[in-house]
Amino acid sequence: MNLFVPKETKFKENRVAITPDVAKELVNKGFKLVMEKNAGQSSYFSDDMYVNAGATILENGSNGYESADVVLKVNIPEIDEIKLMKKGAILISFVFAATVPQVIEAASKQGISIFSMDAIPRISRAQKMDALSSQSNLAGYKTVILAADALGKIFPMLMTAAGTIKPAKVLIMGAGVAGLQAIATAKRLGAIVEVSDIRPETKEQVQSLGAYFIEVKGDESIQTAGGYVTGVSDDFLMKQQALLEKHVADADIVITTALIPGKKAPMLIPASMVEKMKMGSVIVDMAVEQGGNCALSELNKTVVKNGVTIIGESNLPSLLPMNASQLYAKNISTFLYHLADSQGFKWEMEEEITKGSLIVHNGSIVHASALPKI
């Protein structure tokens, strides 16, 4: 089976789907692996490293799409790239199917199949395939480092002959994978950390990391699935904002991580709340690509509003491309081994991981998130 890994073309993307170590493993298992020239360059993996692992380097990426049985990517290809794939070929990548209906339609017309890394069920036996968690973990770490760099003071308390410096206060909104890593990183740097999450089950995890949990009482409007919040009312968000307003005003750094799959990110920090923050404080909006948790954040820009620095970096894992690629390559290769061997795919259509992650099958759209809304 012929695997092809193209060079990522998305703006600010430095990751690669397969690293040299995983390439060697794939080749040893009987797969033929073709890498587009310089596919791993931005992740600090040279073409020579792939050649030494047994892969073939291809100068023209278009030829790779045309001949591949399976395309392995980080981000979903553009429509023009989908049109290069042969009928019956298979794509495995992050898809976020609800957000790319035109690409899904093109895949359907092309007669290919698509498996989505972001749709893999969050069950124990799929943990090694969970790319959302592996990438969010790194993003949580990098967020704190970016915030620390933008903040004009240190994190820990420092007692000197010239006086005592108070520790920085960090407020983190959301205690998912990214939020928990952000808590741990900020604590290691010596900050006082407060955390808000509307899921009461996260309280124990937050406290185990030494952070203070801000209790937000939920209501019947909150919907969750697979550990994620999938819906919440505007009325609840207003109540949450009122409770958090003082904490935001007191914070040196605010990190927001709230996302709702397939929907615009919830608004947690309106402009009026930013106006009450201290001059020199920092906001990092991790949800900026989906509309943002802060009203004043701007996509892929760092702006200063009312003396507050607001960081809107859309692709945080890509800022740590070596580690992010290493983890993603393990995720996607483990997923591939589950679905297939070197001779072909098993197509176990009722198996939970296969069924949950298959978006398009031989041109037929099969996943609920990708079906046209009536």
Burial of 79 (0-12, 13-18, 19+ CB in 10 A): middle
CATH number listed for the domain at residues 138-319? 3.40.50.720
> What was the pLDDT predicted at 7?
97
> What was the pLDDT predicted at 238?
79
> What was the pLDDT predicted at 229?
59
* Cα distance from N-terminal residue to C-terminal residue, the chain: 38
> What was the pLDDT predicted at 228?
59
Q: How far apart are the C-alpha atoms of 91 and 202, rounded to whole Å?
A: 35
Report the alpha-carbon angle 149-155-161, nearest 5: 120
Give the 3-state secondary structure of 25-90. HHHHCCCEEEEECCCCHHHCCCHHHHHHCCCEEECCHHHHHHHCCEEECCCCCCHHHHCCCCCCCE
**Token code pair at residue 313:** 């970096």
> What was the pLDDT predicted at 159?
94
Residues forming a β-bridge with 173: 196, 256
pTM of the model: 0.92
Q: How far apart are the C-alpha atoms of 24 and 21, rounded to whole Å?
A: 5
Report the alpha-carbon angle 305-194-229, nearest 5: 85
Which of 64, 84, 53 lies closest to 6, judged by CA?
Answer: 64
> What was the pLDDT predicted at 237?
74
Q: How far apart are the C-alpha atoms of 54 and 347, rounded to whole Å?
A: 28
Q: How far apart are the C-alpha atoms of 162 and 49, rounded to whole Å?
A: 53
Q: How far apart are the C-alpha atoms of 118 and 201, rounded to whole Å?
A: 23
Q: How far apart are the C-alpha atoms of 223 and 233, rounded to whole Å?
A: 10
- Does domain 2-119+320-364 fall under CATH 3.30.479.30? My reply is no
**Token code pair at residue 371:** 């079906």
Interacting residues of 111 by C-beta distance below 8 A, sequence separation 6+: 87, 88, 362, 363
> What was the pLDDT predicted at 200?
82
Helices (H) and strands (E) in the chain, counts: 12, 21
> What was the pLDDT predicted at 224?
55
Q: How far apart are the C-alpha atoms of 312 and 306, rounded to whole Å?
A: 16
> What was the pLDDT predicted at 341?
92
- CB atoms under 10 Å from CB of 74, counted, come to 27
Q: List the pLDDT tens digit at each of the 374 positions of the chain.
A: 999 999 999 999 999 999 999 999 999 999 999 999 999 999 999 999 999 999 999 999 999 999 999 999 999 999 999 999 999 999 999 999 989 999 999 999 999 999 999 999 999 999 999 999 999 999 999 999 999 999 999 999 999 999 999 999 999 999 999 999 999 999 999 999 999 998 888 999 999 999 999 987 765 556 555 555 555 667 777 777 788 999 999 999 999 998 887 788 989 999 999 999 999 999 999 999 999 999 999 999 999 999 999 999 999 999 999 999 999 999 999 999 999 998 899 999 999 999 999 999 999 999 988 887 65
| H/E element, 279 | none
- Any idea where the domains of the chain sit in the sequence? 2-119+320-364, 138-319
Catalytic annotation, residues:
122, 127, 130, 133, 228
**Token code pair at residue 113:** 């199949």
Q: Which amino acid is residue 103, in one-letter code?
A: V
Q: How far apart are the C-alpha atoms of 360 and 238, rounded to whole Å?
A: 39
**Token code pair at residue 95:** 């898809």
Same CATH topology for 2-119+320-364 and 138-319: the answer is: yes
